[in-house]
Amino acid sequence: MLIVGWIEEVGVSWDDRLDRWDAERELASRLEDSDWVTLQQATTRTGVSRAALRTWYRADLIPSRLVDGPHGPQRLVPLAMVAARAKDSPRLRRTLERRMSEEALIELLQDRIDALEARVAALERRDAGG
């Protein structure tokens, strides 16, 4: 288990400490051949709520580990296992499908806007030339 101990260092900025913590966490996940991420990162990447993640790790449905972080203890979960569990969840699958359909609608609307802009430009050229 990765335990990161922070030593107060003179002249080291807070951003440098955060960067070092991220680098150490990333290195540890590479060494363990897995991608352990914070709950917030898992939420952002998979769409699973933090409440669901807490429920899953408390029920031992996914592993988790508590490590020292820049703001105190930080809970990490394996991203691949969270994604796999999310894929099997009907509720999360519906949310993803809805989000995908919204993205498809946005793309269709953008194509329509592009076509209308081209039409307006052609009409403006015709009016300017004639």
Q: Can you spell out the DSSP letters for 101-126?
A: HHHHHHHHHHHHHHHHHHHHHHHHHH
Domain boundary assignment for the chain: 1-88, 90-130
Which own/partner contact pairs does 45-48 have at CB distance under 8 Å and 24+ positions apart?
45/79, 45/83, 46/79, 46/82, 46/83, 46/86, 46/92, 47/86, 47/92, 47/95, 47/96, 47/99, 48/82, 48/85, 48/86, 48/89, 48/92
Is the model more confident about 27 or about 4? Answer: 27
Question: Pairing relation of β-strands 36-38 and 65-69?
Answer: unpaired
Q: What is the pLDDT of residue 62?
A: 93
Q: How far is it, in rounded angstroms, from Cα 93 to Cα 86?
A: 7
The rounded mean pLDDT for the chain is 81
Q: What is the pLDDT of residue 4?
A: 44
* Structure-block tokens of residue 11: 């002249």
Q: Is the pLDDT of residue 19 over 90?
A: no
Q: What CA dihedral angle connects 19, 33, 68 and 12, to 10 degrees?
A: -20
Percent above pLDDT 70 for the chain: 83
